[in-house]
A and B are shown apart, each in its own frame.
Chain A
Amino acid sequence: MSADHHRPSGAPPVLVYRNVRKLFGDFVALDDVSMEVHREQVVCLIGPSGSGKSTLLRCTNGLELIDGGEIRLDGEKLPADWDGMRRVRQRMGMVFQNFELFPHRTTLGNVAIGPLTVLRMTRAAAEARAMALLDKVGLADKRSSFPAELSGGQQQRVAIARALAMEPTVMLFDEPTSALDPETIGEVLNVMKRLAEEGMTMIVVTHEMAFARRVADWVVVFERGAVIEQGPPAQIFDAPLVGRTHEFLSHLGWAG
């Protein structure tokens, strides 16, 4: 909601995608995708379902491996093997559409599990960090609850805290509000907004156009695996250069 958009400061980008290709059998999920993400930027990926936005996110943290082109994190190419990606994944946080909290652990347990298991922190240190994060997303009083006892919006906020517990340099959001009831979407978007204001580098796949318009520094429009347009939100939403961008947005009822 602040017009305090972060502009690239001349420092090299955090993430560079160059001619990225991804195939599922014969289906081309990503077709020659090139884009950049700079430090402290919020980049929103928009476009119709199945256009490759989520796939790009999943290739970024290695849940899928790319078939062509390259992705560079801080100048270094991402490893091509699954296990090599493990260390990279520790520097990125991911928030899923279905929250994917671990149902057999409490809220506190969920947030602490990353530091505990992966960073091998002591239980005391991990739980202290987890408590601070739960406080930050406004759910400190729910620390002993189980995910099944929480609303969708609460679960997603816990999921954000869980990802933040690893102190990532980049946060990846895969349609974080698509599975939420309208009443709870706001509380999650507010947490994300605050994160952006604090300077977190974020890549967000979303259908929440108002959020993208206000919070994003850069918007990338996907269609059928390819980038059809990218630019600052003012361009994309108010004066798109490409006809199909305009069509997509008006189908969503975006007056633009």
Chain B
Amino acid sequence: MNLDWSVVWHNAGALAEGTELTVALAVLTMAIAVPGGIVLALMRLSGSRLLSGASASFVELFRNLPLILVIYTAYYVMPISLGLTFSPFTTGLVALALNVSAYNGETFRAGIGSIRKGQSEAAFALGMSRWQAMREVVLPQAARRVLPVLASTWVSLFKDTSLVSVIAVGELAYTAMRIRSQTFRVLEMLTAMAAIYWALGYPQAKLVDWLHRRLGVSE
């Protein structure tokens, strides 16, 4: 077993770029999936059977599919059905956003549902519309409950970005494995990849624990 760890330092720039892409992917996905989740939750909680059913179906669908399959399917279906060519990055982003929106939809639904009915009634009694009551009274309170769960979802998302490597998106996993193929330094590169994910993920997981403790629901 002869190891050459210098390959990691030599490729530090590429690995850093891969990491940047990982972070960008996660951030963009959440930027879409948080409003997406709120919309899905509001649809589910609306009186309309059509909207409620559509939302429930969407959420059930993505809860019950492996993300890697969604990624592959998006890769093949999107160009043909929409007639445009998308970059792997966009495809990966779409797959991730659909998946995380579904989970967030459940999270927001539970959060909003946990706010006492009396609170919205008090808002209505003042003459607020349904939307005003949601915006001024319910959502601000639900946000506090929802935050720890969103944080856990973020950590999962961060790890799941590694799956878009299968459609050649240049994030961290893809970059590390590409360098492995080029340099044949299997153990070094794979260990470096694991170590970088660990270094990024470990503090995030600890932060989530802290959030759960700080904002834990005790009502």
Contact = CB atoms under 8 A, between A and B. Distances in A.
Q: Direct contact between A and B in the complex (CB less than 8 angstroms)? A: yes
User: Which of A87, A101, A118 has the most C-beta atoms of chain B within 10 angstroms of its own C-beta?
Assistant: A118
A94 B125 contact: yes
Given A113-B136, A117-B136, A86 B127 contact: yes
A103 B125 contact: no
A131 B170 CA distance: 59
Interface in B74-124: 116, 118-119, 121-124
Identify the interface centre among A63, A117, A162: most chain B CB within 10 Å of its CB: A117
A100 B129 contact: no
Identify whether the interface residues of B are mostly helix, strand, loop, or mixed. helix
A102 B122 contact: yes
Contact of B127 (A96, A102, A118, A172): A118
Given A102-B137, A117-B132, A162 B118 contact: no
Of the listed residues B116, B123, B126, B136, the one surrounded by the most CB atoms of chain A closer than 10 A to its CB is B126
Counting chain B residues whose Cβ lies within 8 A of the other chain, the interface size class is 10 to 19
B28 interface: no
A83 interface: yes
A83 B127 contact: no
B87 to A, nearest CB: 42
Contacts of A172: 125
A199 to B, nearest CB: 22
Interface in A162-205: 162-163, 166, 172
B125 A163 contact: yes
Contacts of B127: 86-87, 89-90, 114, 118, 166
A245 interface: no
B128 interface: yes
A103 B121 CA distance: 14
B118 A118 contact: no
Which of B132, B137, B144 counts the most A-chain CB atoms under 10 A from its CB? B137
Interface in A54-85: 61-63, 83
B141 interface: yes
B124 A89 contact: yes
A104 interface: yes
A117 B125 contact: no
A98 interface: yes
A118 B130 CA distance: 12
B50 to A, nearest CB: 18
A52 B132 CA distance: 29
Interface in B135-193: 136-137, 140-141, 144
Contacts of A117: 126, 128, 132, 136
Given A63-B121, A100-B121, A117-B132, A162 B141 contact: no
Given A103-B141, A118-B132, A96 B126 contact: no
Interface of A: 61-63, 83, 86-87, 89-90, 92-94, 96, 98, 100-104, 113-114, 117-118, 159, 162-163, 166, 172
14 contacts: A83-B129, A89-B126, A94-B125, A96-B122, A100-B116, A100-B118, A103-B141, A104-B144, A114-B128, A117-B126, A117-B132, A118-B126, A118-B127, A118-B132
Given A89-B124, A166-B126, 12 more contacts: A83-B129, A86-B128, A93-B126, A96-B122, A100-B119, A100-B122, A102-B122, A102-B141, A103-B141, A104-B144, A118-B128, A118-B132
